[in-house]
Amino acid sequence: MANAQKDILSWADKSGEFKRQQSSFRDWISSKPDAEFPAEKGRYHLYVSYACPWAHRALIVRKLKGLEEYFPYTSVHWEMLEKGWRFATKSDNEPGEEVTPDPVHEGFTHLRDVYFSVNKDYEGRFTVPTLYDKKQKRIVSNESSEIIRMMYTEFDHLLDDKYKSLDLLPKDLKDKIEETNEWTYNDINNGVYKSGFATSQDAYEKAVTTLFKSLDRAEADLAKSSGPFYFGDRITEQDVRLYTTIIRFDAVYVQHFKTNLRDIRSGYPNLHKWVRNLYWNHPAFGTTTEFTHIKKHYTKSHKQINPHSITPLGPVPDILPVDEEVAAVKASK
């Protein structure tokens, strides 16, 4: 329990580099009826935060695969203080669907209550996403990369053709996707955190330069892609995994995590076009993006880096309309 109380910056090592902890629950839902966690309606509950890029992956895939009835969910409140994520109260009135008290456990006030109900001696972090099995009263998984992969295949036998046929990890692209995942995860998804939570100048500079090298790489890949998705006309896992960081980039990371060598809207035309298409034209992306939660969570929960919890007003708008560019980009065309 002592570990669980540590603030997030304390995961930095002696060199000042942020180290993300391994997820603790790593079971899998399976399509096999005799499985320990079988694919069933009414059995699972997903705890997320609209603020969190890892949880956001699960919300996007749930909708892309038409799994809404299989994964009812609750978003915690954006505020994450000493006791970790808290559930919204009846009187909180935050934007977004399902920002409610815990509908599964009456009286639970924090996500940690769910973790402790499963294991009273739990010593890890209380992270979202958390996939909970109501029948066995157990946590199946709190690792987003695995939760989304369960969603791709294990429910297909229960889904309409439209959703069954959507393959986010097609065989012919699997190796490419895995290879892209590697640097997207290390340098971009986690790279923004390594930048923002670094506690030494060297660690910060190393993380930020690596991050921008990999953003350049994604930009070059998108310039070569026939679009509108990362790998051409098929939406894949790579779109999901990259989107949740890029959509937060200008809105919060540029200033809060000091990832400010460039921003997306004025520095990365292909990433900008790609992210606007996903946000505006694909509801699984747009309707699961809640900028209020994103901006308020980071700026009002990380007191170590923003002690007065002031949330900057900009950028305005959070995301540009699908065909609009910032003035400087427009002028240069």
Ligand X SMILES: N[C@@H](CCC(=O)N[C@@H](CS)C(=O)NCC(=O)O)C(=O)O
163 is catalytic: no
Q: Is 231 helix (H, G, I), strand (E, B) or coil?
A: strand
Tell me the closest approach of the beta carbon of residue 235 to ligand X, in angstroms.
Answer: 20
Segment 273 to 292, residues that bind ligand X, using CB under 6 A:
none
Query: Which residues touch 140 (CB under 8 Å, ≥6 apart)?
Result: 25, 27, 28, 29, 37, 44, 131, 132, 133
Annotated active-site residue in 44, 47, 50, 52: 52
Q: Which of 70, 193, 230, 243 is catalytic?
A: 193
Is 126 assigned a ligand-binding role in the annotation? yes
Closer CB to ligand X, 252 or 254, in the complex: 252
Residue with smaller CB distance to ligand X, 59 or 222: 59
Name the token pair of 326.
Answer: 């910032």
Sequence letter at residue 145: S
- Region 120-159 residues binding ligand X, contact defined as CB under 6 A: 125-129, 142-145
Token code pair at residue 61: 């895939």
The two tokens of residue 135 are 């029948």
Q: Is 141 labelled a binding residue?
A: no
For residue 315, say if its preceding peptide bond is cis, omega within 30 degrees of 0.
Answer: yes
**Residue 85 C-beta: closest distance to ligand X, Å:** 6
Q: Are 164 and 156 in contact (CB under 8 A)?
A: yes
DSSP bridge partners of 84: 81
In terms of CB distance, is 79 or 325 closer to ligand X? 79
Residues 6+ apart with CB under 8 A from 156: 31, 163, 164
| 193 is a catalytic site residue | yes
**138 forms bridges with which residues in the sheet?**
133
Q: Does 196 bind ligand X (CB under 6 A)?
A: no
Check the annotation: does 299 bind a ligand: no
Residue 199 annotated as part of some ligand binding site: no
Which residue, 125 or 272, is less far from ligand X as judged by CB? 125
Q: Report the residue number, 21 or 89, with the smaller CB distance to ligand X.
A: 21
Non-local CB neighbours of 150 within 8 Å, separated by 6+ positions: 28, 29, 141
Length of the chain: 333
**Does residue 84 interact with ligand X by CB under 6 A?**
yes
Backbone φ and ψ for 251, nearest 5 degrees, come out as -65, -35
d(CA 153, CA 39): 10
Query: How many positions of this chain bind ligand X (CB under 6 A)?
Result: 14
Give the shortest CB-115-to-ligand X separation in angstroms.
10
Q: Where would I find the beta strands (DSSP E) of 101-145?
A: 130-133, 138-141
**Binders in 20-59 for ligand X, by CB under 6 A:** 23, 52, 54
Q: Is 182 labeled as ligand-binding?
A: no
Between 74 and 142, name the residue whose CB sits nearer to ligand X: 142
The DSSP H or E segment spanning 75 is strand 73-75
* Joined tokens for residue 205: 């500079």
Pairing of strands 138-141, 130-133: antiparallel
Q: Is 97 annotated as a binding residue?
A: no
State the residues that interact with ligand X by CB under 6 A. 8, 23, 52, 54, 84, 125-129, 142-145
Q: Which residues are catalytic?
A: 52, 193
Residues annotated within the binding site are 85, 125-128, 143-144
Residues annotated within the binding site for glutathione are 85, 125-128, 143-144
